[in-house]
Chain A
Amino acid sequence: MNGVIAIYIFMLAAFTGYEVISRVPVILHTPLMSGSNFVHGIVLVGAMVALFNAHGLLELSIGFVGVILAAGNAVGGYVVTERMLEMFKSSNKKAPAGGHH
Chain B
Amino acid sequence: MSTINSGLAAGIVQTAYILVAALFIMGLKRMSSPSTARGGILWAGMGMVIATLVTYLLGDFNLNLALVIVATAIGGGFAWWTGKRVAMTDMPQMIALYNGMGGGAAAAIAAVELYRGPTESPVFGSLAVLGGLIGAVSFSGSGIAFGKLQGLIKKSFRFGGQQFVNMLILAIAVILGVLLATGINTSAPVVTGFFVLALVLGVTMTLPIGGADMPVVISLYNALTGLAVAFEGFVLQNAAMIIAGMVVGSAGTLLTQLMAKAMNRSLGNVLFSGFGDTAGAATGTVSGSMKSIEASDAGVMMAYAQKVIIVPGYGMAVGQAQHKVWELAQLLQNNSVTVKFAIHPVAGRMPGHMNVLLAEAGVPYDIISDLEEINAEFETADVALIIGANDVVNPVARNDKSSPIYGMPILNADKAKNVIVIKRGQGQGFSGIENALFFLDNTRMLYGDAQGAVNQLIQAVKSSG
Contacts and interface: CB of A to CB of B under 8 A. Distances in A.
B41 A43 contact: no
Contacts of A29: 255, 258-259, 345, 350-352
Given A27-B368, A29-B255, A43-B109, A21 B229 contact: no
Interface in B228-256: 229-230, 232-234, 236-252, 254-255
Interface residues of A, number: 83
B67 interface: yes
Contacts of B95: 30, 33-34, 37, 77, 80
Interface in A1-38: 1, 3, 6, 9-10, 13-18, 20-38
B28 interface: yes
The majority secondary structure among interface residues of chain B is: helix
B94 A30 contact: no
Interface residues of B, number: 119
B11 to A, nearest CB: 15
B99 A82 contact: no
Contacts of B78: 68, 72
A32 B31 contact: yes
A10 B139 CA distance: 23
Nearest to A27: B355
B218 to A, nearest CB: 8
A74 B76 contact: yes
A46 B51 CA distance: 10
B365 A27 contact: yes
B241 A82 contact: no
Nearest to A6: B234
Given A21-B254, A25-B34, A71 B109 contact: no
The majority secondary structure among interface residues of chain A is: helix
Interface string B68-92: 1011111110111011101010011
B239 A14 contact: no
Contacts of B426: none
Interface string B3-38: 000000000000000001000110111011111011
A88 B352 contact: no
B451 interface: no
A55 B84 CA distance: 36
Given A68-B75, A73-B105, A51 B64 contact: yes
A22 B254 contact: yes
Contact of B113 (A6, A50, A81): A50
Given A15-B250, A17-B249, A49-B58, 7 more contacts: A9-B243, A17-B28, A22-B254, A24-B32, A30-B352, A44-B52, A68-B71
Interface of A: 1, 3, 6, 9-10, 13-18, 20-55, 58-60, 62-92, 95, 101
11 contacts: A17-B28, A36-B252, A43-B106, A43-B232, A46-B236, A46-B241, A47-B109, A49-B55, A69-B139, A79-B84, A88-B359
